[in-house]
Structure 1
Amino acid sequence: MKRNLFSLTLFSAILAASLSAQANPTMEKGGIVSTKDGRSLYTFDKDSKGHSNCTGGCATAWPPFAVTDASMADANFTVIKRDDGTSQWAYQGMPLYLYAGDANPGDMNGDNKNGVWHLVRSDMKPAAAKPSSGY
C-alpha cells in the first residue's frame, strides 16, 4: 500500500511539474518565441511596459495576441488590458502581436519591419521605447 501511495505521489509531482512548465501560451524553438501553433510573435518599440500603442490600422496589420485563458499567465507572460478593454498577452511586460503578413506557422516576415517591430526571443531584455515612425 505504501509503495502504491509513494508511486501515486511521485507521478502526481512529475505531472504537476510538466504541466507548469507548459503553462504559458507560447512555445520556443531555436530561441524564437511563438504561439502554440507556431505563429511568430512580435513586440513594438512604441509600446511601453503594460501598455499597447498599436490601435486602428496598426492593430489590423499587427493583431494583438489575444488572451483566451488568463490562467496561463506566469512570471514572464502576463495579461494587459488594452484601451479598447480587450486582453492581450505581454512578455516581460511588453505587449505581444502577430503579423498579418505571416501566412504560415514559422513565417517571420515582420522582423525589424519599419525598424520598430521585432521577433520575440527567449533571451529578450525589454528595451526603452524608441522614437520612430510607421507601423
Structure 2
Amino acid sequence: MKYLLRLCAVVMVALGLAACSSAPDVKTSSADFIKVTNGILTSSYGKTIYTFDKDQAGSGKSECVATCATNWPPVYVEPGIKLSGDFSYISRNDGQKQLTYKGKPLYFFVKDKNPGDKTGDNVNNVWHVVTP
C-alpha cells in the first residue's frame, strides 16, 4: 500500500521543524500534515517516519527500491507542492516525488500498524525514526 502525504510551504525556513513541536501541526489541507509526536516526525495519522542509513543526504536519490520500498514505503509528495526549510523532495525512478528532511529521503515501515508504533526503529541498525 502506498502512502501519500501532501505537504506545502507552511514550514518556514526561519522557524524550521523544531517550531512544529510547540506550534500547531504543519498543515497542508484540512486533513493532511506532518507533525512532531513525542519528539519524532509522524504523519497526520500518527505513522512514524524513518530514514535509511544507506541513503546519502543531498544525493538526490533513494537506495531503497524494489522489495525494500515494499517494506519501507516512501513518503510521497503530491506534484506541485512547494516545500521549504528542511523539507524538499527527490524524484524516484518511477517519477514519483519522495519527501526528504535535511536531504534524506523519508519512509514509513509496513509493520507499523497503529499510530505511535515505531517497530522499524534500528532495524538492521540502518533504519531510524526522524528526530527533529
| TM-score, length of structure 2 as denominator length | 0.72
CA distance in 1, matches of 2:80, 2:98: 10
CA distance in 1, matches of 2:61, 2:85: 17
Cα RMSD for the two superposed structures? 1.8
Contact 1:70 1:79 in 2 (8 A): no
Identity of aligned residues (%): 41
* Partner of residue 48, structure 2: 40
Give secondary structure in 2 for the equivalent of 1:110: coil
Structure 1 residues 70 and 93, CA gap change in structure 2 (3 angstroms)? farther
Of 83, 87, 108 in structure 2, the residue corresponding to residue 98 of structure 1 is: 108
Contact 2:79 2:97 in 1 (8 A): no
Structure with the bigger percentage of helix: 1
* Paired amino acid for 1:54: C
**Are 2:21 and 1:31 equivalent residues in the alignment?**
no
Aligned length: 104
Structure 1 residues 117 and 99, CA gap change in structure 2 (3 angstroms)? same
- Superimposed CA distance per residue, residues 24-80 of structure 1 (whole angstroms, 9 cap, x where no aligned partner): 741002210111111000000011123201001000000000112652511111111
Of 64, 67, 76 in structure 2, the residue corresponding to residue 57 of structure 1 is: 67
- Superimposed CA distance per residue, residues 77-120 of structure 1 (whole angstroms, 9 cap, x where no aligned partner): 11110122111000011000000010011100000001100000
- Select between 113-122 and 75-84 the one with higher mean Cα deviation: 75-84
Bigger radius of gyration among the two: 1
> Which runs of 5 or more structure 2 residues have no equivalent in the other structure?
1-8, 12-25
CA distance in 2, matches of 1:98, 1:87: 15
> Which runs of 5 or more structure 1 residues have no equivalent in the other structure?
1-18, 123-135
CA distance in 1, matches of 2:42, 2:97: 18
